[in-house]
Structure 1
Amino acid sequence: MNIVNFDKLLLKTAFCCMASDGHIDAREIALIQSMCQTSPLFKDFNFQDEINLLLTKINTSGKEFIQYYFDLLNETELTEQEELTLIDFAIQTINADEQIEYSEIKFFKNIRHRLKISDEHILKAFPTIELFLEEDIVTESFLDKITRQYLESTDFPQFELLTLDMDANSSNISGKVGE
């Protein structure tokens, strides 16, 4: 397994949640950028370089990149607090464009089933996401099936690299972020 820093795992989580519906909304990019800027986890972090690297990876190997992300989650040992932080990044990103697509819920369920934290603890921290935790008959084969379904049903469009135009007091984005 590749060793990954928690900050990069958080960014990959937010990025994958953003791309899971096949559309990148400027509000999602702005939110992820803001979360990175305000979190103490992201020190000496070049957001534009990192997000463009992820865009390049999803453009060149979309399904393989998502599978790599799922494998990374399976192999990474996280504390309960880290899992809650990861869930927070995922949920905020999914909600950023004010439209929750079924593909995003399916994607979140894929994330959730790779974490060790209980639904009870998740709902204690995030009481409004009950929809995301609705019970499915989850077995190893079911998880494999929904992962395969997600990867087979998702055609990843080609996203354009971002040009971020920021001054010290704002997080304005310029340039096209894709359709």
Structure 2
Amino acid sequence: MAACRTLGIHAYRGNEQGWIYRMEGSDRRNFFKRGLRFLDTYIDLFGPQTYPIPDGEAGIPVNIMGSRQLKPVSTSLNRLEKMRLRRILNAMTHAAVNGEIYHLWWHPHNFGVQLDENMDFLRKILGHFRLLQKSHHFESMAMEQLAADILENAKNGSKHEVIGSM
């Protein structure tokens, strides 16, 4: 963390909450944990993975925990894609209603294969975001901006004004 501060990095994406997302030692080869993480992508096993806006007391860098990695649409698991979409939309709604953060992240290069299907999936998420934005003042922010707001509010002793954030 000291190196991050030295390099001017104000935020980082931490892992999702829960023991299945803690990676220790040889956990990448732990098929039980991997299987549970896979199932949690489609079925709500470990909650919506939303969380309250950090108070900034930990200082720089701010841990903006991930909620869900948006992975590419899978042709072999095509029948499960509606479940995965529903899981994401439900978690976003949970965050908006409860004034929490839902941090959806992805690697853009993953969208290169089956571009139309991946963009369609993303459009559905963005359409739902627009509904939540209107109904619950849900906001979309880059990690850098969210970290800056959190740190500024910590300095001023105030709470973050975001109703919810994606």
TM-score by length of 2: 0.33
TM-score by length of 1: 0.31
Higher relative contact order (CA 8 A, sep 6+): 1
Structure having the higher strand fraction is 2
Of structures 1 and 2, the larger Rg is shown by 2
